[in-house]
Amino acid sequence: MNPYFLQNDLKWTRKPKQAVITGDTVEIITEAGTDLWQRTYYGFRNDNAPVLQMTTKEKFFSFVVKTKFESKCRFDQCGVCMYLDSENWLKASIEYENHEYQRLGSVVTNLGYSDWATTDVSADIKTMWYRFSRRESDYCMECSLDGRVYKQMRICHMWEGADEIAFGIYACSPEQSSFKAVFSNMELMECQWKEHK
């Protein structure tokens, strides 16, 4: 991705106090108490995480990004996001849990209610690639350790995701923490999520 794309197509939803865009890299220093979550399980709501996105009406595409992170506190997270409004969005990321394991997972929020699907991975993992794909109002999130071989995390439908959408990257620290998240190797391409036959 060239600097023109970064500077002119990506727009902040809640710009963080510390963020640097240089060439094909975005660096975010998270702020304590930032998160994306709505209602489910214990009624908690938070809608203040910084998100850097572009908009499109394209119905079929894939977006790839590499994340590198220095997370160290519970729930520290960074990854790919499609944020439409406070009650309709999705995200895929690794959320730090403790010095032994983290939760690689995804959250889908439709009509104001979030879910959370996860699998545990080693706390030693500090780099992850994500591929976000769209087929009309349906979406696929995948992850990769090397940027070549991707594994499916989630397929979902977004009730408000049939027309123009906004998608990109995010980073946040829900508890009293702060860490550096670096995003690179961002690329738009033909949809890699093939039609089911």
Residue 22 CA to its chain's centroid (Å): 20
Give the rounded percent of residues in the chain with a pLDDT score beyond 90: 89
Task: Report the range of poorest mean pLDDT among 22-26, 28-32, 146-150, 169-173.
Answer: 22-26
Q: What pLDDT shows up at residue 21? A: 94
pLDDT value at 2 more than 60: no
Residue 59 pLDDT level (bands cut at 50, 70, 90): very high
Residue 165 has pLDDT above 70, yes or no: yes
Round to whole Å and give the CA distance between 147 and 22: 21
4: DSSP letter: H
Say if CB 119 and CB 62 are below 8 A apart: no
In tens, the pLDDT along 98-125 reads 999 999 999 999 999 999 999 999 999 9
pLDDT greater at residue 78 or residue 8: 78
- Give the pLDDT confidence of 30-52 residue by residue, as tens digits: 999 999 999 888 778 899 999 99
Q: What are phi and psi of 116, to 5 degrees?
A: -150, 115
pLDDT of residue 197: 75
Whether 176 has a pLDDT exceeding 80, the answer reads: yes
Enumerate domains of the chain plus CATH numbers.
3-189 (2.60.120.200)
pLDDT at residue 1 tops 60: no
| Stated pTM of the model | 0.95
179 half-sphere exposure, CB direction, 13 A CA radius? 25
CA 68 to chain centre: 13
